[in-house]
Amino acid sequence: MENQFFDEKLSENYKNIPVSFVRKILNVAGKKEFISFAGGLPNPDLFPVEEIQKSANEVLKQSAKSILQYAGSMGYHPLREWIADRYAQKYGMKITPEMVVITNGSQQAIDVLSRLFVNHNDGVVIEKPSYLGAIQALSAYQPKFCHVNLENDGANLTEVEDWFMDDGVKLMYAVPNAQNPSGISYSSQKRKQLADLLTCYNKFFIEDDPYNEVYFDEEFPEPVKKYAPENVAWTGSFSKMVAPGLRNGWVVLSPELVPHFDKAKQATDLNPNNLTQHVLHYFLTNNDLDEHLNKIRKKYAEQCQFMLEMIDKYLPEEVGATRPFGGMFIWLTLPEGVSSNNLIERTLKQGVVFVPGNSFFTDGKGQEHIRLNFTNANFPDIEKGIKIMAMALQEMLVGQH
C-alpha cells in the first residue's frame, strides 16, 4: 500500500482543520519537570473530590440499572431542570428545561452548532484572537472567517456591523466572559449593542460561556442571550465549575432550534454520558455549590493577581498584559518585532511553556502575543516561570539592537 493512501482520501473538510498547538504543547507541559502556563486546566486542588466520590456512590446505589442503560439524547431531565432554574433565576430570563440540551463539554455544543449552520463559504464573524477549539470546530465546515478586532471591552462593533451588512455572513462566535485566550470581557453596553445588531441584521450568535461562574470581584454582566433570545445559542460548562473529567456542558437554545440540534447531535454519539450526568446532578443538589464556587473564585483571583504582579515586576515595561475580571488566562502583547514562537524556543530549554499567540488567529498572525494560564501553577512556579520568560525576552531584545 502506498503511503499516499490516506492523503488522497482525506476530506476537504478535515484538511481545513488547523492543528492544535495547544494540544501538542500539552504533551510537553504534562511532564512533571516543566513549569506550564500552557493548557487551560482548572486547578485540581479545588476539585470537590470527596463530594464526587459520595455522589457516584449514591447514584449507583440508587439507580444503577437505569444509569447504565442508553438514555435520552437531550440529557438527564433533572440536570436540565437544575440548569434552567439556576440561570433563569440569576438573570431573570425565561429558560425552561426543554430549552437546555446536555453536551460533552461546551465543545460539543460548538461542534454541533457548526454542523447545524455552516455551509462551505458561509461567513462566520470571529474575534482576533479567538478560542482555538471553536476555530477547529467551525473550520471543519469550511466557512469564510470574517475577523473583527477585540478591544478591552469586547469586539469592535463597527467592524461587526460592517460584516453583518453582508448577506453571506450567517453567524458570529464569541466568548463574552473572560475570553480564552485574551481574558477580555464584554462591557454591559456592548452586549446590548451586539444584541441589537443581531436582531436588526437577522444573524445568529454562538455565545460561548464556559467561565460564567468563574469571576473574581463581581458577577459578569448579563448575557447577550437575554437581549436577543431567539438569535443566540448560549453554552455553559461544568468543566470549570466542578470538574472537566466529567465532560458535561450544556447549551440553551430557542425552542424551535432544539429538535434540529438534537437530531444533529444524535448522529455524533447517540446520547451524553449518563453516569456523569447523574453524578453531577447529585453533587449539585446535595452540596452548597456557591460555597464551592467562592473557593475557586478566590483562588483564581489570587493566582491571577500574583501573576500580574510578577509580570509587572519582571517583564519589560513595553510588554502589555490584559487585566481579566475572571477566567483562567492573561494575554500578553510583546514589543514590536519580537515573536512568541522564537521566545518559546528559548523558554522551553529552561523548562517553561506557554502558548504562542498565533494559535488563536486563523490568518497566521498574532506572533506578538502570548496566552498565559494562571490557574494551574503555584506561586513559586509563577514567579520562577515569569523570571525565565523575562530573561529570555531581554536576550532577544538585546539581540535586536
Residues 150-209 that bind its own copies (CB under 8 A): 170-171, 199, 202, 204
CA dist 191 and 81 (Å) reads 26
Is the CB of residue 277 less than 8 Å from the CB of residue 69?
A: no
What distance lies between CA 390 and its chain's CA centroid?
Answer: 27
CB of 153 to its own copies, least distance (A): 27
**CA–CA distances in Å: residue 198 to residues 147, 170, 183, 193:** 16, 10, 24, 9
CB of 158 to its own copies, least distance (A): 24
Candidate segments 53-61, 181-189, 217-225, 359-367, binder of its own copies by CB under 8 A? 53-61
**Touching its own copies, residues 114-133 (CB under 8 A):** 115-119, 122, 133
Q: How far is the CB of 243 from its own copies (least distance, A)?
A: 4
Total residue count of the chain as it appears in this document: 401
Q: Which stretch binds its own copies (CB under 8 A): 89-97, 174-182, 261-269, 298-306?
A: 261-269
**Near its own copies by CB under 8 A: residue from 81, 86, 88, 140:** 140
Q: Is 94 in the site for its own copies (CB under 8 A)?
A: no
Pick the piece of the chain touching its own copies (CB under 8 A) from 259-267, 309-317, 325-333, 386-394: 259-267
Give the binding range for its own copies (CB under 8 A) out of 157-165, 189-197, 243-251, 381-389: 243-251
Q: Decide: is 391 part of the binding site for its own copies (CB under 8 A).
A: no
Smallest Cα–Cα separation from 273: which of 36, 73, 63, 45?
A: 73
C-alpha cell at 152: 478591552
Site for its own copies in 323-382 (CB under 8 A): none
Stretch that binds its own copies, among 174-182, 264-272, 354-362, 364-372 (CB under 8 A): 264-272
Number of residues that bind its own copies (CB under 8 A): 85
Contact string (CB under 8 A) for its own copies, positions 7-46, x = contact: --xxxxxx--x-xx--x---------------xxxx-xx-
Question: What is the residue-wise DSSP string for 199-218?
Answer: HHHT-EEEE--TTTT-BSSS
Which member of 83, 84, 107, 281 binds its own copies (CB under 8 A)? 107
Give the strands of the sheet with 320-321, arranged side by side: 320-321, 329-333, 369-373, 355-356
| Choice between 194 and 389, CB closer to its own copies | 194
Residue 41 or 390 having the CB closest to its own copies: 41
DSSP code of 165? T
Return the residue of 235, 273, 340, 373 that touches its own copies, per CB under 8 A: 273
Residue 41: closest CA among 386, 301, 374: 374
List, in sequence order, the alpha helices (H) in 228-362: 258-269, 274-286, 289-314, 340-349
- Specify whether the CB–CB gap between 168 and 121 falls below 8 A: yes
Spatial separation of the C-alpha atoms in residues 104 and 125, rounded to whole Å:
24
The cell numbers describing 130, all together, are 479567538
